[in-house]
Every structure is written in C-alpha cells, then in structure tokens.
Amino acid sequence: MTNESLIFKKFLARRDLRFTPERKAILEAVFDTHRHFDADEMVELLHKQGKKISRATVYRTLDLLVKGGLIRAMELGEARKVYEHIIGHKHHDHLICTGCGRIIEFDDGLIELLQQKVCDRLNFQAETHSLRMFGRCENCR
C-alpha cells in the first residue's frame, strides 16, 4: 500500500468512513496524474480506465482528499476549480492565464524570502500560503 493510501485510509478511519474500492481507484488516478486537473477530467480518466464511478463519488472523494491534506484545490474563477497532489511535491506558486487557462508553476526563492520577511516584521507565523497571479501568457497577449 502506498504512503498516500495509508494516509488517506487513516484519515477516513478517523471519520468512520471506509476506504472503498472507488475511493482507492480515485486516489490512485489522482496520484498517477502529474498535472493540474478538474473533477470532470478525473471522471473522464476513470471512465477511460473502465472504472464505473459516479461523478458525485469523484467530487466527494476529491473533497475528502483535500480535507485529508493529500491534494490542494485551487479556485480559478468562473466556477473553475483544479486540483494537484501535494504529497511528494515541493512548494511552488502559480501563474494562471485568463485567456487560455494555462497554469504555469514556478518557484522563486526571492519571493519566499520576501514573504518570510513580511511575516517576521508583523510577528506572524505562516503555516502555509498560496500565491496565484492571473494575467495573460505569451500566446494570449
């Protein structure tokens, strides 16, 4: 059993929920996906794999994975939400194109340093943060 499976199984058990075959299949598909995805794309992927899992089950399971700290949801406006797994990935920030929807991941040590300086100056201990910048990519300008 993978580390993600163990974490999710323990999370579910603490809430008196079962680690069903459907939840296991969704978890595996999520962690086999190495890009941002939305719930409908996950439903389509599972169906292509021959899994008969309802859209509602996918949405509920993605919500549980977020609450369990295994994946992150990002609201992108216009009722669009995408997910990415966070276990095994280092922190990064996002540039989001409002033209084509492209998501560009980046990591900049200077930005991280500036954020820490702000926290220090304001005597604030950050637990996590998310930086998303919206604009137009090179192809959409």
pLDDT digits (tens, 9 = 90+) for 50-67: 999 999 999 999 999 999
In the three-class reduction of DSSP (H, G, I as helix; E, B as strand; rest coil), residue 7 is classed as helix
Binding residue numbers for Fe cation = 91, 93, 112, 129
Q: Which two tokens stand for residue 25?
A: 């299949």
Q: Enter the pTM of the model.
A: 0.85
Q: How far apart are CA 51 and CA 71, in angstroms?
A: 21
Domain boundaries, the chain: 3-85, 93-135
93-135 and 3-85 share a CATH fold: no
Binding residue numbers = 91, 93, 97, 100, 112, 129, 137, 140
Q: How far apart are CA 98 and CA 100, in angstroms?
A: 6
Tens-place pLDDT, residues 75-114: 887 778 999 988 877 888 999 999 988 999 999 999 999 9
Binding residue numbers for Zn(2+) = 97, 100, 137, 140
Report the candidate in 90, 58, 94, 52 with the shortest Cα–Cα distance to residue 76: 94
Q: How far apart are CA 28 and CA 46, in angstroms?
A: 10
Rounded to a whole number, what is the distance in angstroms from the first to the last CA of the chain? 46
**Into which CATH architecture does domain 3-85 fall?**
Orthogonal Bundle (1.10)
Write the class of the CATH domain 93-135: alpha beta
Q: Which two tokens stand for residue 49?
A: 């794999």
Q: How far apart are CA 19 and CA 24, in angstroms?
A: 7
